[in-house]
Amino acid sequence: MVLGLTIGILVMSQVCVLVAADGENWIPFTLPALASVYAGAGLVAWHRRPRNGMGLLLVMGALANILVGFGNSEIRPLQVVGAVFSTVPLALIIHLLLAFPSGRLHGAASRVIVLGAYVNSVFLQAPSYLLAGPPDGLLDGPGRPDVIAAARLAQRLLGLVVEIAAAVILSQRLLAITPRQRRVFAPLALYGVVTVFTIPLSRYIVDALALDPVTVFLVQLVALAGIPVAFAVCVLRGGFEPTYEVDDLALWLGSDAPGSGRPRMARALAATLGDPTLRVTFDEAPLSAPGSANESANESDAESAADPAAEPAPEDGVVQVDLDGRRVAQITYDPALITDRRQVDAAARVLAIALDRERLTDELQVRGDELRQSRVRLLEAQDRERRRIVRDLHDGLQSQLVLLSWRAARLAKSVLDGEAAVEARGLHDDLDQVSGEVRRLIHGLMPALLTEQGLFAAVEDLSEALPVRGRVVRRGSDQGLPGAVETTLYFVVAESLTNVVKHAQAQSVDIMLERHDDRVKISVADDGVGGATPDVVTRGTGLRGLIDRVDALGGTLSLASPERGGTKVLVEIPCAP
Q: What's the CATH code of the domain at 463? A: 3.30.565.10
Q: 55 with 49: CB under 8 angstroms?
A: yes
Q: pTM to 2 decimals?
A: 0.48
For 72-85, b/e burial (b = at least 16 CB within 10 A) is bbeeeebbebbbbb
Q: 516 with 549: CB under 8 angstroms?
A: no
Kindly tell me the sign of the dihedral angle through the C-alpha atoms of 401, 403, 409, 411. Answer: negative
Q: Is 241 a member of any domain?
A: no
Domain match, 410 and 461 both: no
Q: Is 244 left (phi over 0), alpha (psi -120 to 50) or beta?
A: beta
Domain match, 66 and 214 both: yes
Domain match, 109 and 230 both: yes
Domain C-terminal end among 236, 264, 287: 236
Domain match, 211 and 303 both: no
Nearest to 150 by CA among 119, 128, 121: 128
DSSP state of 380: H
Domain match, 328 and 380 both: no
Ranges of beta strands (E only) in 124-179 are none
Q: 490 with 455: CB under 8 angstroms?
A: yes
Q: 96 with 231: CB under 8 angstroms?
A: yes
Domain C-terminal end among 369, 384, 408: 369
Task: Say what the pLDDT of residue 536 is.
Answer: 57
Q: 3-state secondary structure string, 386-407?
A: HHHHHHHHHHHHHHHHHHHHHH
For residue 280, the domain's CATH number is: 3.30.450
Structural domain boundaries enclosing 306: 246-369
Q: Is 550 a member of any domain?
A: yes
- Chain CA centroid to CA 345, Å: 20
Q: 251 with 272: CB under 8 angstroms?
A: no
Domain match, 363 and 383 both: no
Task: Say what the pLDDT of residue 55 is.
Answer: 80
Q: Is 389 a member of any domain?
A: yes
Domain match, 302 and 397 both: no
Domain match, 346 and 213 both: no
**Hey, what amino acid is at 556?**
T
Residues 6+ apart with CB under 8 A from 178: 315, 334, 336
* Helices 261-273 & 341-392 angle (0-180, nearest 10): 160
Q: Is 496 a member of any domain?
A: yes
Domain match, 227 and 268 both: no
Nearest to 326 by CA among 355, 366, 295, 365: 355
Strand 326-333's sheet: what is its strand order? Answer: 279-282, 326-333, 317-323
Nearest to 198 by CA among 232, 224, 168: 224
Domain C-terminal end among 422, 445, 468: 445
Q: Is 277 a member of any domain?
A: yes
* Helices 88-99 & 108-122 angle (0-180, nearest 10): 170
Give the SS3 label for residue 319: strand
**Hey, what amino acid is at 544?**
R
Task: Say what the pLDDT of residue 112 is.
Answer: 92
For residue 67, the domain's CATH number is: 1.20.1070
Nearest to 265 by CA among 360, 366, 358: 358
Domain match, 556 and 469 both: yes
317-323 vs 469-475, strand pairing mode: unpaired
Count how many domains the chain has: 4
Residues 6+ apart with CB under 8 A from 423: none
**Hey, what amino acid is at 208?**
A
Please state whether the peptide bond connecting residue 290 to the residue before it is cis, i.e. omega within 30 degrees of 0: no
Q: 87 vs 32, 65, 117, 196, 199, CA distance in Å?
A: 16, 9, 10, 11, 11
Count of other CB atoms within 10 angstroms of residue 237: 11
| Stretch (H or E) spanning 81 | helix 76-84
Q: Is 278 a member of any domain?
A: yes
Phi, psi (deg, nearest 5) at residue 511: -120, 125
508-516 vs 469-475, strand pairing mode: parallel
pLDDT along the chain (577 residues), means of 10: 71 70 66 82 75 80 84 77 84 84 79 91 84 71 82 87 85 72 73 72 65 70 77 58 53 52 78 80 65 44 43 81 87 78 84 83 80 74 73 67 75 68 76 74 71 85 88 88 85 88 89 88 91 65 74 87 89 83
Q: Is 85 left (phi over 0), alpha (psi -120 to 50) or beta?
A: alpha
Domain match, 462 and 392 both: no
Would you say how long the chain is, in residues? 577
Domain match, 140 and 174 both: yes
Q: 160 with 117: CB under 8 angstroms?
A: no
Q: 193 vs 52, 96, 97, 202, CA distance in Å?
A: 22, 11, 8, 14
Task: Say what the pLDDT of residue 535 is.
Answer: 66
Q: 462 vs 130, 466, 470, 550, CA distance in Å?
A: 108, 7, 9, 20
Kindly tell me the sign of the dihedral angle through the C-alpha atoms of 268, 273, 277, 283. Answer: negative
